[in-house]
Amino acid sequence: PMALRDAPSTCPALWRWLRCPQAELRLDLVLASGQAFRWQELSPGAWTGVLGGRVWTLLQERGRLWYTVYGEETPGPDTDRVLHDYFQLGVRLPALYRAWGAADPIFRKTAAAFPGVRVLRQDPVECLLSFICTSNNHLARIAAMIERLCQAFGRRLCCVGTRPFHAFPSPEALAGAEAEAKLRALGFGYRARFVCGTARAIAEGMGSEGLCRLRAVPYAEARSVLCALPGVGTKVADCVCLMALDKAEAVPVDTHVWHIARQRYGATLHARSLTARMHQEIGDFFRELWGPYAGWAQAVLFCAELRRGRAAAGSGSRARRGRGR
């Protein structure tokens, strides 16, 4: 086992940093807001998780994003690029906040207290299979399920302190004949069939590379392909489009976002339940309001609402709810 590195002063040679002010990125908001489920704050301000088949610890200090990678690899330009890509640091966030605020006083008022909320650029396979697990679920339980999935089917990477870390499993590993029964035994319930069915469809069809190639096709086409997979509805497809397939205009709509559109924005919607048509209407409403990065703007408001819910509910179950509602 390796000791947790929770500060650059502990092993300076094993740490590296990127310039990144909090207006561009707030780790505490982004990594705990239901976009990704494998980051843990093991020490105050120090987030440890798996990215690209490696275990990392990240923290922010005085306008710098510090990171260390566990294992044989020494941080350098290659690992810089991994983080730059994952956090999409080429997108200038303050300029987007200003544009959204100019177009939308509600956004401007809310976002002032929530700077640095970015959309992650995740591995498409991990993002897709993870969001299938969010159906009728809450953040703490989703994270625990995905951790069990990785421990059961993923390659062991290392142990930090007393915690083992595993890579996210390949579609092939989840496509086997015994995988569904094993996931049911791990508490996945009906989601086991969808996780294994989609993994099998990827492994036997488009492959992981084909899923990545959806980054290059139009948003509507990518969403259509995803919705043809087992257990993937419009909301899950939009989450994957936004957080893994470079579709910044995708607006994931759950009942929470539906209520925001109706109650806070007074959107005139033509249905009383969250149908596919309603997903489209709400998405179109926000795309017209916020422009081509509408999905990013929605992520800011979603994060703000999630934080408000946690503050109101304290340690109750509502505080743990997320995208799976």
Instruction: Name residues whose C-beta falls within 8 Å of residue 171's C-beta, 6 or more positions apart in sequence.
Output: 125, 129, 198, 199, 200, 202, 203, 207, 208
Give the pair of three-digit tokens for residue 283: 């998405």
Catalytic residue (one of 109, 182, 235, 247): 235
Beta strands in 181-318 (DSSP E): none
Q: How far apart are CA 83 and CA 60, in angstroms?
A: 13
Q: How far apart are CA 59 and CA 205, in angstroms?
A: 39
Q: How far apart are CA 171 and CA 229, in angstroms?
A: 13
Q: How far apart are CA 189 and CA 187, in angstroms?
A: 6
Q: How far apart are CA 58 and CA 53, in angstroms?
A: 15
Beta strands in the chain (DSSP E): 15-19, 40-43, 46-51, 54-61, 64-70, 156-160, 163-166
Decide if 96 contacts 296 (C-beta within 8 A): yes
Q: In what order do the strands lie in the sheet with 64-70?
A: 15-19, 64-70, 54-61, 46-51, 40-43
Decide if 225 contacts 113 (C-beta within 8 A): no
Is 109 a catalytic site residue?
Answer: no
Q: How far apart are CA 224 and CA 218, in angstroms?
A: 10
Alpha-carbon Rg for the chain in angstroms:
19
Mind telling me the catalytic residues? 235
